């Protein structure tokens, strides 16, 4: 699906009707059985969440499995596969090897997230000292 990326959440909804329509219409709506399956899955996830902490954990695992499955159909996955195939040929520079690139990106993200957490904790501490 080559669609625009939409802002998915706001203060009230994680995804509104417009967002769902933008996601569903291009591909899935051509297959009413697929839409029916998705609706049933979403309903099952909703019921699980409403059943409390155990259901929330189940829903979280189901959503993660869905994300992992969706990844296999993304441009990011296609690009990663191309890079991996190039790696198998032995034609990449060491710094361009897939694991090297991925691990460096993960490391940079972890550092950024850690700095963000410290900044947030510092702000909370200052606010509590002002009270």
pLDDT at 50: 97
pLDDT at 1: 42
pLDDT at 34: 85
Residue 123 lies in a domain: yes
Count, residues in the chain: 131
Residue 128 lies in a domain: yes
Mean pLDDT of the chain: 86
Residue 104 lies in a domain: yes
Residue 30 lies in a domain: no
Distance of CA 17 to the CA centre of its chain: 19
Taking each helix axis from N to C end, the angle separating 53-71 and 32-50, rounded to the nearest 10 degrees, works out to 150
| pTM more than 0.85 | no
Residue 84 lies in a domain: yes
Residue 118 lies in a domain: yes
Whether the CB-CB separation of 34 and 28 falls below 8 Å is answered with yes
User: What would the mean pLDDT of 35-56 be, rounded to a whole number?
Assistant: 94
Domain that holds residue 126: 77-131
Count the domains in the chain: 1
User: What would the mean pLDDT of 8-32 be, rounded to a whole number?
Assistant: 76
Whether the CB-CB separation of 35 and 29 falls below 8 Å is answered with yes
User: 2 versus 60: which is more confidently predicted?
Assistant: 60
- The CA–CA distances, whole Å, from 73 to 2, 31, 61, 77 equal 11, 17, 19, 7
Closest CA to 18 of 38, 4, 31: 4
Residue 111 lies in a domain: yes
Residue 83 lies in a domain: yes
pLDDT value at 118 more than 60: yes
Cα radius of gyration (the chain): 20
pLDDT at 129: 75
pLDDT value at 21 more than 90: no
């Amino acid at each position: 699906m080559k669609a625009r990326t939409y802002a998915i959440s706001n203060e009230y909804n994680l995804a509104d009707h417009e967002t769902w329509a933008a996601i569903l219409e291009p591909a899935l709506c051509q297959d009413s059985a697929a839409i029916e399956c998705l609706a049933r899955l979403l309903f099952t996830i909703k019921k699980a969440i409403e059943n409390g902490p155990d259901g929330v954990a189940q829903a979280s695992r189901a959503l993660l499995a869905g994300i992992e499955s969706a990844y296999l159909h993304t441009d990011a996955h296609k690009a990663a596969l191309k890079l991996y195939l190039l790696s198998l040929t032995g034609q990449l520079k060491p710094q361009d090897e897939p694991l090297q690139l991925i691990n460096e990106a993960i490391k940079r993200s972890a550092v950024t997230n850690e700095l963000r957490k410290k900044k947030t904790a510092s702000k909370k501490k200052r606010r509590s000292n002002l009270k």
